[in-house]
Amino acid sequence: MAETLNPFEIVQKQLKIACDKLGVEESVYEVLKEPEKVLTVSIPIRMDDGSIKTFIGYRSQHSTVLGPAKGGVRFHPDVTMDEVKALSAWMTFKCAVVGIPYGGGKGGVRCNPKELSKSELERLSRGYFRAISPIIGPEKDIPAPDVYTNAQVMAWFMDEFSQLKGYNTPGVVTGKPIVLGGSLGRNEATARGATFTIREAAKKIGLDLTKATVAIQGFGNAGSVAARLLYELGCKIVAVNDSQGGVYNPDGLDPEAVNEYKKKNKTVKGFPGSKEISGAKLLELDVDILVPAALENVITSNNAANIKAKIVGEAANGPTTPEADEILYKKGVLVIPDILCNAGGVTVSYFEWVQNLMNFYWTEEEVNNRLEQVMVKAFNEVFYIHKQYNVNMREAAYMLAIKRITEALKLRGWI
């Protein structure tokens, strides 16, 4: 059987499975299988050498039945419309799983930010935001950082939109620098939310975290912070990697030391006192907890049978293919699906937007406590459906999301 690797087809497949298991009307699938709106823009930018180069950008708004669209913008050479559509659909379900009043959005620009100077990146960021400005705004669609975009890019987005409006509009994006209306706790939110769900999952299967071993695939923002937080809970981090290479130490790595090393050397590769390990081998290590925290489709039907972890916490979006899901479920691996596991990021983005609209800001402790409440409640609701319907955790998460979305669609008279 051919593996489903087109991310948009994967989403449609997951959606169909959940609709069928829930027994909802065919019209729910019909409404949700395509995004409400997808905008393609071309962005001509003057490069530093004086030449003009045109970049292609997208913004997809999948569903706004529960609230304005919400979702990141990625700058990456492999951005495609299908990927952006898929990620916007995942955002719809992610927001519905944790019960925050947003629909799903996603954006992307096809470019290699590593080849752009800072001023070229700024012109591209502003050009993209200006181009999509007719369909965004605090009440319509609120972008955020994603792959290769950060707080500085959000600052340019927010400034460009504010210039167009003629007044400060901090609520148009989240993930901003603190001084421009960012939220405390946002930087660590994805990893912290993932850690809360891993902690709850460990309770459910009787795993003592102080004796647990962890491998983390991807040592960017989510992966490095998750490593530190799990280490603080008593876990032994035995392997981490990034796009350049991986490091393994069966006696455990100190995530802070690895992070310092990566800051200096731009990679974890070659960290003193560790052995080199390939990305493929890292995924198949005999550990209790595996955290895929990088890109899509890393756990497939080719390697799923070799995964030895008891818990897979998907800090990344779409790391597991539907075919791999089945294999892991049959093996008894508890997979915490992306739309639950990494929803901490969008939850604190929601908190940031709320603070912007109120013009009243919370302490980091308040943010983290509220995040914990949201994540623990969502985990328990998904776990309950997983047991009640005897389905895997991903199907359970989709079923919870689709239940909420279906109710809203009916009440609004959309179906």
Active site residue ranges: 106
- The number of CA neighbours under 13 Å toward the Cβ of 140 is 12
For 277, the 3-state DSSP assignment is: strand
Question: Is residue 94 marked as binding?
Answer: yes
70 is in an annotated binding site: yes
349 marked among binding-site residues: yes
Cα–Cα dist 31/10, whole Å: 17
Distances (CA, A) of 409 to 64, 299, 328: 10, 34, 33
Rounded to the nearest 10°, the torsion over CA 310, 6, 1, 218 is -30
**What single string gives the DSSP state of each residue in 282-335?**
HHTSS-SEEEE-S-S--B-TTTGGG---SEEE--SSS-B-HHHHHHHHHHT-EE
> What is the rounded CA–CA span in Å between residue 114 and residue 123?
15
H-type alpha helices, 166-254: 189-205, 221-232
Q: Which two tokens stand for residue 367?
A: 């943010």
Query: Measuring CA to CA, which residue among 79, 165, 99 is closest to residue 129?
Result: 165
Residue 64 annotated as part of some ligand binding site: no
How far is 248 from 269, CA to CA, in rounded Å? 10
| C-alpha span between 57 and 75 (Å, rounded) | 9
Residue 249: partners with Cβ closer than 8 Å, 6 or more residues away? 238, 239, 273, 274, 275
Q: Burial level of 266, CB count in 10 A (0-12/13-18/19+)?
A: exposed
CB 60 within 8 A of CB 106: yes
With contact defined as beta carbons under 8 Å apart, do 154 and 80 qualify?
no
Interatomic CA distance for residues 59 and 71, integer angstroms:
10
Annotated binding-site members: 70, 94, 190, 221, 349
Annotated binding-site members for substrate: 70, 94, 349
Annotated binding-site members for NAD(+): 190, 221
